């Protein structure tokens, strides 16, 4: 928290306060964790700077070129299935896990379509994040909603619902185009 505070502090008073909080936190951690760095007890005093979150999303198509879309439970909008990346998993593994959790379907990844920066799409999210978009083929399963989704459907991409964010719509268009090179901002 101190590193994030330092990143966004607007004045010397706040910067000083966050430096002191970081020093206190490092001292407490040093009391509780061995000073020797080992893979079993990875502690580094350098907590880094505030950085964007990472998400992993899948544009999965069936044999008729229809794409799987979800209706999100949190905001009621349609989107490609995906979510936050978890530490210790590759982007592709994260994407497939999120896809299965949100749709009940399994898929096989074909390729990376691109990496998307939400700030380039006028996102109103309070978080800055990058999303890795993968193109995939549906492998098996029956579509079903989850705690994160109220609906799961296959759509002809040209008939996708209007209620999608600008970034979601751009990702869908890029996945359909399936250009030779990954997209990025």
Tens digit of pLDDT for each residue in 171-181?
999 999 999 99
Domain segments of the chain: what residues?
Answer: 1-50, 53-184
Q: Is 13 exposed, middle or buried (0-12, 13-18, 19+ CB in 10 A)?
A: exposed
pLDDT of residue 45: 54
Record the tokens describing residue 55, joined without a space.
């998400």
pLDDT of residue 81: 98
Is residue 178 within 8 Å of residue 135, measured between CB atoms? Answer: yes
Record the tokens describing residue 156, joined without a space.
């002809």
Tens digit of pLDDT for each residue in 65-89?
999 999 999 999 999 999 999 988 9
Superfamily of domain 53-184: Nucleoside Triphosphate Pyrophosphohydrolase (3.90.79.10)
**Mean per-residue pLDDT of the chain:** 89
pTM: predicted TM-score of the whole model, two decimal places: 0.76
Looking at per-residue pLDDT, the higher value among 24 and 13 belongs to 24
Is residue 103 within 8 Å of residue 152, measured between CB atoms? Answer: yes
Is residue 94 within 8 Å of residue 56, measured between CB atoms? Answer: yes
pLDDT of residue 14: 78
């Amino acid at each position: 928290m101190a590193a994030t505070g330092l990143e966004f502090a607007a004045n010397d008073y706040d910067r000083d306060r966050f430096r002191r909080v970081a020093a206190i936190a490092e001292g407490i951690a040093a009391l509780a964790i061995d000073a020797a760095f080992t893979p079993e007890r990875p502690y580094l005093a350098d907590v880094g700077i505030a950085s964007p979150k990472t998400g992993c999303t899948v544009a999965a198509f069936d044999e008729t070129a229809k794409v799987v879309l979800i209706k999100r439970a949190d905001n009621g909008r349609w989107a490609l299935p995906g979510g936050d990346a978890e530490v210790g998993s590759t982007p592709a593994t994260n994407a497939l896990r999120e896809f299965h959790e949100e749709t009940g379907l399994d898929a096989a990844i074909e390729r990376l379509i691109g990496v998307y920066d939400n700030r380039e799409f006028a996102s109103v999210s309070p978080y800055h994040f990058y999303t890795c978009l993968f193109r995939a083929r549906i492998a098996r399963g029956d579509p079903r909603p989850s705690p994160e989704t109220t609906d799961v459907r296959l759509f002809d991409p040209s008939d996708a619902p209007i209620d999608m964010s600008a970034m979601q719509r751009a990702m869908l268009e890029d996945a359909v185009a399936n250009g030779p090179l990954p997209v990025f901002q």
